[in-house]
Structure 1
Amino acid sequence: MPIAYSPCPNDTFIFHAWAHGLLPGAPPLDVTYADIDMTNYWAARGEGPDVMKISYAALPWVLENYRLLPCGGALGRGCGPLVLAKDGAMDAAALSGKRIAVPSDRSTAYLLFRLWAAQQVPGGIGEIVIMPFHEIMPAVRDGRIDAGLVIHEARFTYKSYGLHMLQDLGAWWEADTGSPIPLGAIIARRSLELEAETISGWIRASLDYAWANPDASSAYVMEHAQELSLDVAQAHIQLYVNAFSRDLGEDGYGAIESLLGRAAEQGLVPAFDLGLLRS
């Protein structure tokens, strides 16, 4: 079965057992490794594999043709994106009119940043510069950008660039809403003959195997970990793989509806039928 997910440790950890034929009865996976800035647009154009990891923020563009699966994604607490600056004295007000680098304009991180800035930055931010993720921290360090929005392993490495955290957007979101943070979603084409429940069952079985055999996936995870150390890769997994990865539940769906509902109200995403999130 064609599938696309990122080379990040949380995805390779979850899908290791399925990708390596360790689930009796599950079809072989034909894996494409792609960051969500690619899969977001593939899904919007109806391209790419039948099952993909995308950002929750991209769902409004794709829900007519793809179903949100209730497992396999990343949604949790204490794992939000960070706004980084070189000047440790900079605060939210100082971002007014400034140039901010972001890794994507169709990501949960971007939506959280824009919702936060609407509340906290008087007069609004200046220019948004879309930049490859790995270039953002060096650009902030070198003064080419006033501040940067970063995700994932940057939580563990930004201090090595001499940068300071201006805002943890996850902490802001959780304080503002009480909800966990929706990050990455697994979607499946609505036209697939396979039932969504069947695919979800295999994803859960793969995750259960990973939890029961935590060392089994280490070689696979590190093969794709983009030069992360084993300690950082394990911290990444512990942060992003949790109970929501197995089942969104009411709290998970509520968080997604809150994020995308707010974003639609502010015109950050297209208007869409929220009911499609659960159907």
Structure 2
Amino acid sequence: MAEPIRMAFSPCPNDTFVFHALVHGQVPGAPAVTVDYADVDVTNGAAERGEYDLVKVSYAALPWLLDKYTLLPCGGALGRGCGPLVLTREASAGPETVAGKTVAVPGDRTTAYLLFRLWAAEHAPAEVVVRPFHEIMPAVAAGEIDAGLVIHEARFTYQRYGLHAAADLGDWWESTTGLPIPLGAILARTDLAERTGVTPAAAAAHVRASVNAAWADPAASRQYVLSHAQEMEGPVVDQHIGLYVNEFTRDLGTDGYAAVDELLGRAATAGLVPPVVIPRLSAV
């Protein structure tokens, strides 16, 4: 009997919504799945150690992971109008806002931080500190740090902390590239079939089926999504899913792959990541 697939993704509503059917054995023909829930800075490190068969990571981490993993063309988070925000206590705007300041980021190999480094290339902060993303807004509001780079549902809640958006890195990215912003990727171990009997292409087909099931019956996953949404209220959960689960979740397509190539190509040219070629994989 094949071993269960070991999987890790965040407890955020977009991930639990997308993977509900797969996790709960509702995808015909898919193997059993065991899940660990962790923020992306944790899963990036776990993937570098090869700890999971399927794992949600930052696109920015791919150059360090593709020796062990294959990028799946579905299940991830790309989109428009969904980029990270740079938040400050004072109303201000532009890269000069962070020059010489202390900035908290949600992980040093996150897509958010890579975009931040490209955006602030000529206005480097004095210090960058890594904090769990849910701690960043309170720390900025309390004056513990000068600015914070936030992701996820913080787009909908930062005003509650009296904070201001100095920059929307998604808007900046889209205005300079015309492409969606690549945030989170789903990877499968290249040797997945040896341990589980499931090829990466077959895993992609199962993930896509889970996406389709989520859209076909959104109510089916509601309790599961809310149980992992921490202190997020229902309307914010719905906004979160609506923003991060879109056509690119079902299939990266031409624009999705172009966005990944552009992000990592720009970063490699700037010397921020090693050069990498992203292979294309089609689901069976």
The bucket for the TM-score relative to the shorter chain is over 0.9
1:6-55 CA-to-partner distances (Å, cap 9, x unmatched) read 11100100111111111222111111111111110111122x22110001
Residue 150 of structure 1: aligned partner: 150
* Aligned-residue offset at 1:90: 5.5
SS of the aligned residue for 1:204 comes to helix
Q: How many residues are matched?
A: 273
SS of the aligned residue for 1:278 comes to coil
Residue 75 of structure 1: aligned partner: 78
Query: How many angstroms apart in 2 are the aligned matches of 1:88 and 1:72?
Result: 36
Residue 237 of structure 2: aligned partner: 233
Residue 160 of structure 1: aligned partner: 160
| 1:160 aligned partner, one-letter code | R
SS of the aligned residue for 1:152 comes to coil
Query: How many angstroms apart in 2 are the aligned matches of 1:50 and 1:265?
Result: 31
Residue 138 of structure 1: aligned partner: 138
Residue 104 of structure 1: aligned partner: 107
Query: How many angstroms apart in 2 are the aligned matches of 1:250 and 1:234?
Result: 27
Residue 127 of structure 2: aligned partner: 127
Residue 55 of structure 1: aligned partner: 58
SS of the aligned residue for 2:91 comes to coil
Q: Is the 8 A contact 2:86 2:165 kept in 1?
A: yes
Q: Is the 8 A contact 1:63 1:277 kept in 2?
A: no
Residue 13 of structure 2: aligned partner: 9
Counterpart mapping for 1:1-279 below 5 A:
1-46=5-50, 48-89=51-92, 91-118=94-121, 121=123, 124-193=124-193, 194-272=198-276, 274=277, 276-278=278-280
SS of the aligned residue for 1:118 comes to coil
Identity, in percent, stands at 60
| 1:190 aligned partner, one-letter code | T
Q: Is the 8 A contact 2:95 2:119 kept in 1?
A: no
* Aligned-residue offset at 1:268: 1.4
In the superposition, the TM-score normalised over structure 1's length comes to 0.95
Q: 1:50 to 1:138 in 2, by over 3 A?
A: same
| 2:62 aligned partner, one-letter code | L
* Aligned-residue offset at 1:94: 3.4
SS of the aligned residue for 1:182 comes to strand
Query: How many angstroms apart in 2 are the aligned matches of 1:197 and 1:39?
Result: 21
Query: How many angstroms apart in 1 are the aligned matches of 2:32 and 2:97?
Result: 52
When the two chains are superposed, the root-mean-square deviation of aligned CA atoms in Å is 1.2
Query: How many angstroms apart in 2 are the aligned matches of 1:85 and 1:189?
Result: 39
* Aligned-residue offset at 1:129: 1.1
1:168-200 CA-to-partner distances (Å, cap 9, x unmatched) read 000000001111000000000111112222111
Query: How many angstroms apart in 1 are the aligned matches of 2:150 and 2:45?
Result: 20
| 1:139 aligned partner, one-letter code | A
In the superposition, the TM-score normalised over structure 2's length comes to 0.93
Structure 1: which 5+ runs fail to align? none
| 1:202 aligned partner, one-letter code | H
